[in-house]
Each structure stands twice: as structure tokens, then as C-alpha cells.
Amino acid sequence: MEFTACAIYDGKKHHFGFSSAFKCPDTVYEIMQKEGVNLNDACYKAGLTQNSEIGKSEGIIGILTKGRKTRKDYTVDAIIMAMIHVENKF
């Protein structure tokens, strides 16, 4: 499963948050395993994008959701989840 994780250290504790998770297309995982490349390069090699730096723009999540969720949105989700324990002292 693909997801984004965030860890915030407040000087005493680590606080963790995660985005939602999804499964990448099997062809992408196969390229990563066979060729030893990262997710960005595997998406490009699989023909999912013409952008060789998809990880710096919308990410694979942007491709698979047809722009409804981007890599930046996904990262913000993980940060918001990590902030739950920073802002609410349980």
C-alpha cells in the first residue's frame, strides 16, 4: 500500500500521522522490483505519465485520482493527522 507518513517531534514526544492508503497498479510495482527504481521513475517507465518528475508535481495519486487528490493534498492530510496529538494533549 502507498501512503504518506508524517512525524512531528515536539521536543519530548514523536507524534505520527498518516494519509489514506491505496494500491498502485501492479505494473508499477513490477518495474520497481525488476529495475530497482523508485516510484517516480516506475510511473514514467510504465507510461502513466509523460512527466519524468511526477513525484515533484501531482504524484501518482494525482494520476490515479484524475487530479481529485494531489501529492501535496496527500501530504497535508498526514500532517493534519499528526497534529491531532500535538494540539490535543491526551
Query: pTM of this prediction?
Result: 0.82
Note whether 45 and 31 are within 8 A (CB). yes
The span from the CA of 16 to the CA of 79, in Å, is 8
Domain 5-87 has CATH 3.20.20.70: no
Q: ∠ CA 83-85-87 to the nearest 5 degrees?
A: 65
Q: What is the pLDDT of residues 21-52, one digit of tens each?
A: 999 999 999 999 999 999 999 999 999 999 99
What is the grid cell recorded at 3?
501512503
Which pLDDT value is given to residue 55? 86
- Give residue limits of the domains in the chain: 5-87
